[in-house]
Amino acid sequence: MKTQIMVTTARGLENTLRGEVASLGLPVLWAGSSGVKTEGTFVDAMRLNLHCRTGHRVLFLIKSAVCMNADDLYREVFTVPWESLIPADGYVSVSSHIANETIRDNRYANLRCKDAIVDRIKEKKGKRPDAGPEQTGTVVNIYWRGEECEIYLDTSGEPLSKRGYRKMPLDAPMQETLAAGVILTAGWSGAGNFINPMCGSGTLAIEAALIALRRPPGLVRPSFGFMHTLLYDKKAWEQIRAEAIPANAELTGKIIAGDHNPAAIDAARRNAETAGVAHRIEFSVCDIAETPVPEGGGTVVVNPEYGIRLGDEAALVGTYRKIGDFFKKRCKGYEGYLFTGSPKLAGQVGLKSKRRITFMSGSLECRLYQYDLY
């Protein structure tokens, strides 16, 4: 049975996500700043979880309803045959996005939804699943605007940015989905070199390797929300995974990750090993000025601190000037990219940007600056 599937994402990644959904042979019914709507089966939702690099959650529509208040919500949720969707001895959590004048606290609506689910299962099965806030079991998502309410199974559970490979994140790491979006927006897919100075825990370099090798980002993740539902088909999932594992792709260039901090390089290497791509990345403990830059051109992406969560903005002026010097002196023939949440610091690079693309990193508006390095 086909139904509507909503794949959520961060603002700035919707066009990239649209292309990902279409590449899987699924229709794009709508695309906006919150994500992409498509339609498909539960197996299609499983495929989206495995393959989407820039998606945040894959929501599988169970029911649309008109709800004026929380009592209506309870009644509508209770009519869903949850006994055929959620194990009676399982675990369920509810999340929501609500704009209804009768609901002052989303937690109340979540509680009413949860009560309807477990009451229904207890009535039909004689026992009820446990419930709580952790998103490690079956996750139900409520999207309620005005009178229009949509009830989804969150087939991702925990967000898809949690790939499963980042065991050593260090401080304020870039989210994996955002890193993939930055790389794809830069137009790099494996041709030429990819240079990532100031690599931190290695997220950009690892995502670049996964893209170049055509490896699905969810391949090493051990658990998804759909696995905790009664709709989960283990054989179908094994087949999807088997079909998704590509032959060894040949890289035409190098992927280089450098950082002056030995602990960062150690963390990046370990994360890359977990992701299965460490053998495709050259790691280097070095100052940005000494980052290896092979002949042949390619793409350079730098994601420095920008004074919001780490460091002080004034103290980072010198860092951004060093980035500018590195671009100008070492990276001729490359496309240079700077990702930052500080336009003021970006101005210290000393180069005129070719374009600026806005992304959201959590609640913070950031920009990706592109430079032609002649």
Q: What whole-number distance in Å separates Cα of residue 192 and Cα of residue 251?
A: 8
Distances (CA, A) of 211 to 105, 151, 188, 271, 357: 41, 33, 9, 16, 20
User: pLDDT band for position 1 (50/70/90)?
Assistant: confident
- Among residues 253, 244, 348, the alpha carbon closest in space to that of 296 is found at 253
Q: How high is the pLDDT of residue 70? A: 97
User: Contact at 8 Å (CB) between 153 and 107?
Assistant: no
Average pLDDT of the residues in 104-108? 96
Give the type of residue at 191: A
Structure tokens at 64: 């649309």
Structure tokens at 99: 């704009």
Check if CATH label 3.30.2130.30 holds for domain 3-154: yes
User: pLDDT band for position 374 (50/70/90)?
Assistant: confident
| Percent of the chain topping pLDDT 90 | 92
Q: Where are the domains of the chain?
A: 3-154, 176-215+247-372
Q: How high is the pLDDT of residue 247? A: 67
Q: Which residues of 258-277 are buried (b: 16+ CB within 10 A; e: fewer)?
A: bbbeeebbbbbbbbbebbbb
Q: How high is the pLDDT of residue 171? A: 76
State the chain's mean pLDDT as an integer: 95
Judge residue 189's burial from the number of C-beta atoms within 10 Å of its C-beta, 0-12 exposed, 13-18 middle, 19 or more buried. Answer: middle
Give the residue, 3 or 307, on which the prediction is more confident. Answer: 3
Distances (CA, A) of 105 to 17, 70, 112: 31, 11, 12
Q: How high is the pLDDT of residue 310? A: 53
Q: What is the pLDDT of residues 19-45, one digit of tens each?
A: 999 999 999 999 999 999 999 999 999
Q: How high is the pLDDT of residue 256? A: 98
Give the residue, 247 or 358, on which the prediction is more confident. Answer: 358
Q: How high is the pLDDT of residue 155? A: 98
Q: What is the pLDDT of residues 295-307, one digit of tens each?
A: 999 999 999 998 7
Q: How high is the pLDDT of residue 312? A: 76
Q: What whole-number distance in Å separates Cα of residue 286 and Cα of residue 277?
A: 21
Q: How high is the pLDDT of residue 311? A: 57
Q: Which CATH number fits domain 176-215+247-372: 1.20.200.10, 1.10.260.30, 3.40.50.2000, 3.40.50.150?
A: 3.40.50.150
